[in-house]
Homo-oligomer: A and B are copies of this chain.
Amino acid sequence: MNKEQVLGCVQEILPEAIDRLKQYLSYPTVSAQHKAIPETVDYVVQMIHEAGGETKVLDDLGGNPVVYAFFAAGSNGDASKTLLYYNHYDVQPPEPFNEWHTEPFTPTVIDGKLFARGAADNKGDLVARLSAIKILQKQGGLPCNIKFLIEGEEEIGSPNLEPYLRQYKDLFAADACIWEFGGKDESERISMVAGIKGMAYLELTCTGADIDMHSSVGAYVDNAAWRLVQALATMKNEQNEILVEGFFDGIEEPTADEKKFVSELPFSEEATAELYGLKRPLITKAKGVDPREAMVFHPTMTICGLDSGYTGEGAKTVLPKNARAKVDCRLVPGQDPQHILRCIEAHLKKHGYDDITVTMINGQKAYRSDFHHPFVAHVLDTARVIYENEPVLAPNSAGTGPMYIFGEQLKLPVVSTGVGWVGCKVHAPNESIRLKDFEEGIAHMVVMLSGFAQALSLAK
């Protein structure tokens, strides 16, 4: 099929696909808050059966269930080649509610955009992939075997995924993997990655007392909020340099080749500033660092949340009993989340803050796939068929996911691509996808799957 034929097939199934996606998005599957897990799993299984697949719901190793799906190659297809899709059915918390223009779990189409928590991350991608499968089945059967791993704890750091992948290594065995997400950048180029950053998501808590106190006692009682502020201020300086000893241990220097790819990534400081409404210049500017290099190669330490005492309207004169910070360290290949935790604990102790406790909520290693693999070339080539602009490939994304476990257990090349866009606001209020991107994402998967077995065979 050529581009027009494929897009024609997409048009035929589109209304049904959007209805299915809206239904899927109406489940408030917030893993951090233990919400709507069983109902969402049931609906995922139902969607796979409707698309002609078989399922196993794995829930024997703890955590939210992992859904395995299998679609067999058609009689004209090549059953010796298997593609694995990785998706997750859980979503980020929708808070703060008051900043949503629509209800986060009432999917709403406005001006060609579908707004809902999870639209871009990652429910839209699953429905796009299943829709591509339906189109291929109508055309005479699948060109290869297709598997899915759809987990329910990605947004809390996939804490239980490793045992499932180890235990069910043979079930999930495949020749290559398409990762969960992707989308168009600010130049409307589809942006793909062949790797991912790691993460150490930490909660720092300083407890000063058993109860909140009247703030007048601040003359002699120590203040947990001040202690936390002062402790945090020792961890990073005003130039945004991370000061924790050992934090950079083990980092693998990127290859010249990786650096070259990164230097060619598109990036517009102006477009980024405009998109988020930034009030200050990029932090890389003062240091003369290329933001693309920072995005791909540099670890981060971000405060995701601060919480202490009274945060409502007006004044409450309270000396808070405790203070908490959520700190997200994005890691690069070679860094170990457990080592990061130990370094931060040692740092706090060294600076006299051993009363501040550090809990790791989410720890994952970074991973870079082999992005010279013919599978990667095939995904790029087929993207060129469907997308108007030249696609972009980065050695790893700035985001995180459990790719390291896949690489270690399944030993396969991984490319991530999806139906998002630069303004899709994942993890923020008013998350959306554009229906045009959803259509093109389906079409890309149709073309990619059609040539998948051949591309891999030729390569060998």
Q: Given the known A-B contacts A218-B301, A398-B217, are A318 and B428 also in contact in the complex, defined by CB atoms under 8 Å?
A: yes
| Residue of A304, A397, A399 contacting most chain B CB atoms (<10 Å) | A304
Asked if A395 lies at the interface with its beta carbon under 8 angstroms from chain B, I say no
A233 lies within 8 A of B230 (CB): yes
Residues of B within 8 A of A93 (CB): 310, 312, 316
B276 lies within 8 A of A216 (CB): no
Q: B211, B229, B316, B330: which contacts A216 (Cβ < 8 A)?
A: B330
Asked if A377 lies at the interface with its beta carbon under 8 angstroms from chain B, I say no
Q: Given the known A-B contacts A220-B284, A220-B294, A233-B233, are A428 and B307 also in contact in the complex, defined by CB atoms under 8 Å?
A: no
* Beta-carbon nearest neighbor of A307 in chain B: B311
Kindly identify, within residues 193 to 209 of chain A, every residue whose CB is under 8 Å from any CB belonging to chain B.
Answer: 197, 199, 201, 207-209
Kindly identify, within residues 398 to 447 of chain A, every residue whose CB is under 8 Å from any CB belonging to chain B.
Answer: 398-400, 425-430
Binds B, one of A133-141, A320-328, A342-350: A320-328
Q: Given the known A-B contacts A308-B303, A428-B318, are A229 and B233 also in contact in the complex, defined by CB atoms under 8 Å?
A: yes
B33 lies within 8 A of A278 (CB): no
B298 lies within 8 A of A229 (CB): no
Q: Given the known A-B contacts A305-B320, A307-B306, A308-B303, are A226 and B222 also in contact in the complex, defined by CB atoms under 8 Å?
A: no
Closest 6 CB pairs of A and B: A210-B277, A233-B233, A218-B302, A32-B314, A225-B303, A216-B398
**Residue positions of A touching B, CB distance < 8 A:** 31-33, 92-93, 95-96, 99, 155-157, 197, 199, 201, 207-223, 225-226, 228-230, 232-233, 236-238, 240, 272, 276-284, 291, 294-295, 298, 300-321, 323-326, 328, 330, 352, 355, 361-362, 397-400, 425-430
